[in-house]
Structure 1
Amino acid sequence: MAAKPQLPPTTVFLLKTRSSPTDAYEDLFKAPNDAGSRYAPIFVPVLEHRFVDDGLAQIDSLLTRRQITNGRLQSSTGGKYGGMIFTSQRAVEAFKKVVDGRHASTRENATSSWPSLQDVPIYSVGPATTRALRAIKLEPPLQVSGEHTGNGEDLAHYIQEDYAGWKRPPPTATDGTASTDAERPGPKTDAQAAPLLPLLFVVGEQRRDIIPRVLMGDASESGPPHIGVDEIVVYGTGVMPSFAEDFERKLNETLGSAVRWVVVFSPTGCDSMLKALGLLDPETGRAKDLANRPRTDFIATIGPTTRAYLNDTFGFNPDVCADEPSPEGVMRGINHFMAAWTASQ
């Protein structure tokens, strides 16, 4: 019996810049999977990022002066921040730029422990941002946690649980000596009860306020602690001028594909994406009625924020919304949809 001919892989447009040195989406979609599906990922960058020099200089200054430290307010450690928060790979890239630049200028000092963050909690949302942080070559390595969280709100609640219990030096007594009240039963002294240092949130120009809002919410004796958050903007974001043209060219190059998927990672560029796919009514700017129309192009979103934007702005309901913002979550959604869609044909 002749072997059944293998269908060509399904085109998957990833509307993002390919991560370096490897990209988890590319690795997963190129590999064989349990569903028996085959995919050909194609990157089409949407966002253009630029570093903000003033923000990079602030980070450099804080690290050089050891102002990000493992301590409390009213403590002899003298630090300004007790940890750092990252929620995007671009923020990590900006931080890495500062670290690499400072290492290059102090390379002759082999004993330098700059930036001295080995005892400082570094909070990161999701696996991709965490991988980027752990790839920064520091010795000792950064103490990164939060990989299991899928969004800013989840990360904020995790920080509430983790930060207060982070191991710190004993608080400083009023005479400047180390207090041993941490081991004593009974009421806490003013030194022991000194509030936690705020956290430094490394961000882009466009960001949600969910993490500062949760961490700096009203505190009570029975509720989570109040944790201060200061933001430093280290990069800006805009639509890449060539995106619409690049995407249309890739669409024309793949016209022979039986099925194509478009994976959308943010609201930015969604209007150009929908126009290129012919899914918008030019008069109303709203999505066309696709009921009972044959389709070869389908859309998946990385999460509910982008799905809500497509719904609210264009009246378009994407075919898949990933159950978690990860390569695995996107692939699960596409595989499940394709299985049901194929069965219905």
Structure 2
Amino acid sequence: MSLNSDQVPVLLLKTKSAPTDAYEDLFSTPRDGFDFEPTFVPVLQHQFEDAGMRQFETLLRERQISKRPGSAYGGLIFTSQRAVEAFSKLVQEGKGDESWPHLQDIPIYSVGPATTRAINAVSQNPPLQVFGEHTGTGDVLAQFILEHYGEWYKDRPTKPPLLFLVGEQRRDIIPKTLMDTNLPDNQRIDVTEIVVYGTGVMESFPSDFASVLQKTSDRPARWVVVFSPTGCNSMLKGLGVLNDKSGKVEKSPRKEKPPTYIATIGPTTQGYLKKTFNYEPDVCSEKPSPEGVWQGITDFTKGLT
């Protein structure tokens, strides 16, 4: 890895997407007076959960996810690309039936553009019907589902349950919103969660992160972009700002040399840092996207001058 001393390092705590990565494309292009150098430091490792995968596969093969009356579920929810990967794996394994996986007549809800692109890449003929690309957060997606799903099944007094494919760690805002007991019976939607993947910190992350920090230690400033609560502990330890006894941040990384600024992809990770480590990140992206992170970092930087 070669880092240009005239550029501001942006350490992206994620696995680089293939074949291209939108964060790399955006942050490696100088514009508006900013010249960043993105570096990927993978923090998460994922593995499919066998029990959840088998349960989901059975539902697909028995066609229990459809618009037909009596089906177990009337739609699907995805809020992570890892869940889409689990779905795609089962679809590929079930190839041979022309209409597999038989989901052309149901709504599939996606939390944003990246997840939507991943779902649309899953082969299905006719194509899958995906909604929610514009929402961006689970809160907004849940409100959208209440209206859209209600209209989709407006001829039924009780809406069929939705199936939500999730990881071990997730927010519960979508099930809470859709199953709110304050909602009228004809609007409330039951949600079943199936855990199809687990997430953990890569064993190599602490050493990989320490190596990048050492290589950027001569810079006037640098940024760390955090995409998930997983790995926050190792990240703060690596920066040397976490008190081992209290488990809280005892000094701001922006006051160290070089000053290190922290940006989060959204409010979930921001809230986790505040609640768990008593640390307020410098930037919380208003939109969970490369453009949102870039805007947050550049707006904050302008405010420093």
Q: What's the TM-score once normalised by structure 1's chain length?
A: 0.81
Q: CA deviation at 1:138?
A: 2.3
Aligned to 2:160: 197
Asked if the contact 2:158–2:186 (Cα under 8 Å) also holds between the matched residues in 1, the reply is no
Point out the more displaced range, 42-51 or 62-71.
62-71
* Structure of higher CA gyration radius: 1
Unpaired segments of 5 or more residues in structure 1? 1-5, 169-191
SS at match of 1:153: helix
Distance 1:286 1:218, change over 3 A: closer
In structure 2, distance between residues paired with 1:252 and 1:211 = 41
2:204 to 214, 235, 242: 242
Q: CA deviation at 1:7?
A: 7.3
Q: CA deviation at 1:220?
A: 4.9
Q: CA deviation at 1:219?
A: 5.3
Unpaired segments of 5 or more residues in structure 2? none
Aligned to 2:80: 88
Tell me the alpha carbon deviations over residues 15-45 of structure 1, each in whole angstroms, 9 at most, x when there is no partner: 1122233322222212343x23122111111
- 1:70-109 matches, cutoff 5 A: 70-71=67-68, 75=69, 78-103=70-95, 106=96
Aligned to 1:333: 296
Tell me the alpha carbon deviations over residues 302-333 of structure 1, each in whole angstroms, 9 at most, x when there is no partner: 12222222222222221111112111111111
2:115 to 118, 123, 129: 129
Q: Which amino acid aligns with 1:304?
A: P
In structure 1, distance between residues paired with 2:193 and 2:289 = 25
Q: CA deviation at 1:55?
A: 1.5
Aligned to 2:63: 66
In structure 1, distance between residues paired with 2:167 and 2:62 = 23
In structure 2, distance between residues paired with 1:266 and 1:216 = 26
Q: CA deviation at 1:282?
A: 4.4
SS at match of 1:49: strand
Q: CA deviation at 1:225?
A: 0.3
Q: CA deviation at 1:101?
A: 1.3
2:99 to 113, 121, 135: 113
Q: Which amino acid aligns with 1:164?
A: G
In structure 2, distance between residues paired with 1:47 and 1:292 = 28
Tell me the alpha carbon deviations over residues 114-152 of structure 1, each in whole angstroms, 9 at most, x when there is no partner: 112122100011222112111222222211111111221
In structure 2, distance between residues paired with 1:56 and 1:41 = 35
- Among the aligned pairs, what percent are the same residue? 54
In structure 1, distance between residues paired with 2:125 and 2:6 = 46
Distance 1:295 1:250, change over 3 A: closer
Distance 1:282 1:204, change over 3 A: closer
Q: CA deviation at 1:48?
A: 1.5
In structure 2, distance between residues paired with 1:53 and 1:294 = 46
Aligned to 2:142: 156
RMSD: 2.2
Aligned residues: 301
Q: Is 1:54 the counterpart of 2:51 in the alignment?
A: yes
1:265 to 227, 242, 248: 227
Asked if the contact 2:217–2:258 (Cα under 8 Å) also holds between the matched residues in 1, the reply is no
Aligned to 1:186: none
Asked if the contact 2:218–2:258 (Cα under 8 Å) also holds between the matched residues in 1, the reply is no
Q: What's the TM-score once normalised by structure 2's chain length?
A: 0.91
In structure 1, distance between residues paired with 2:33 and 2:125 = 42
Q: Which amino acid aligns with 1:134?
A: N
Q: Which amino acid aligns with 2:50?
A: D
Point out the more displaced range, 231-240 or 300-309.
300-309
Point out the more displaced range, 59-68 or 197-206.
59-68
Aligned to 2:267: 304
